[in-house]
Chain A
Amino acid sequence: DTGVSQNPRHKITKRGQNVTFRCDPISEHNRLYWYRQTLGQGPEFLTYFQNEAQLEKSRLLSDRFSAERPKGSFSTLEIQRTEQGDSAMYLCASSLDNYPGPQHFGDGTRLSIL
């Protein structure tokens, strides 16, 4: 399978703990995006990268959230001091860098905060 891969698929943690998610994009895609989706809603944009450069961050991305893409390939999204409101599906997408073009999504990491 050469699609977008996200790990873990599910994460359950206690409030206050730190969590990290990983996204492996489609291999030839230079752009990588993170979105968050809560139940019954459409995905909301968090941030995106062109290669290793983080080009845009949403106001939704508080100081507790940090994303990296150190070598321009896989990306990680870390949430520090998790809160109940962080419970959501975290989706990663990738695309070629010739706008416009479709973003292809992974199956997400579902985060549950106890």
Chain B
Amino acid sequence: GESVGLHLPTLSVQEGDNSIINCAYSNSASDYFIWYKQESGKGPQFIIDIRSNMDKRQGQRVTVLLNKTVKHLSLQIAATQPGDSAVYFCAESSGGQGGSEKLVFGKGTKLTVNP
């Protein structure tokens, strides 16, 4: 069945380093991917998204890479700051293929930034 998962449950980095969070998905019909940041006691906060017709998209300090060949998604955070400490989720949907627009989430990666 369709699923979205993450390779590592936790990631610890030093302040100022770059962080890379990985995600694998299995639904070949997925056409939209999105990254969220979730802090304790709060809802997921949108970070960046990418459509399946792209392989890279950049935001402020963040870059998302999509490799459809191996069904892999990554989030790169440049110059990681203590405020980036949170759980990061990738999610996908397949609404453009006549499928569902619901988001399917992975389990999340907990990022800890050490000062």
Residue B66 lies at the interface, judged by CB distance under 8 Å to chain A: no
For A33, list chain B residues within 8 Å (CB): 102-103
State the interface size on chain A (CB cutoff 8 A). Answer: 26
Q: How far is the CB of A73 from chain B (nearest CB, A)?
A: 19
B46 lies within 8 A of A41 (CB): no
Residue A85 lies at the interface, judged by CB distance under 8 Å to chain B: no
B44 lies within 8 A of A43 (CB): yes
Closest A residue by C-beta to B48: A102
* Complex CA distance for A73 and B49, rounded to whole angstroms: 26
Given A42-B91, A106-B43, answer yes or no on A48-B101 (Cβ-Cβ < 8 Å): yes
A104 lies within 8 A of B104 (CB): no
24 of the cross-chain contacts (CB-CB < 8 Å) are: A4-B43, A31-B101, A41-B107, A42-B4, A42-B105, A45-B100, A45-B104, A48-B101, A56-B101, A56-B102, A91-B43, A93-B43, A99-B96, A99-B101, A100-B49, A100-B95, A100-B101, A101-B49, A102-B49, A103-B34, A103-B46, A105-B45, A105-B46, A108-B42
Chain B interface (Cβ < 8 Å from any Cβ of A): 4, 31-32, 34, 36, 41-46, 49, 51, 89, 91, 93, 95-96, 100-108
Chain A interface (Cβ < 8 Å from any Cβ of B): 4, 6, 31, 33, 35, 40-45, 48, 56, 58, 91, 93, 99-108
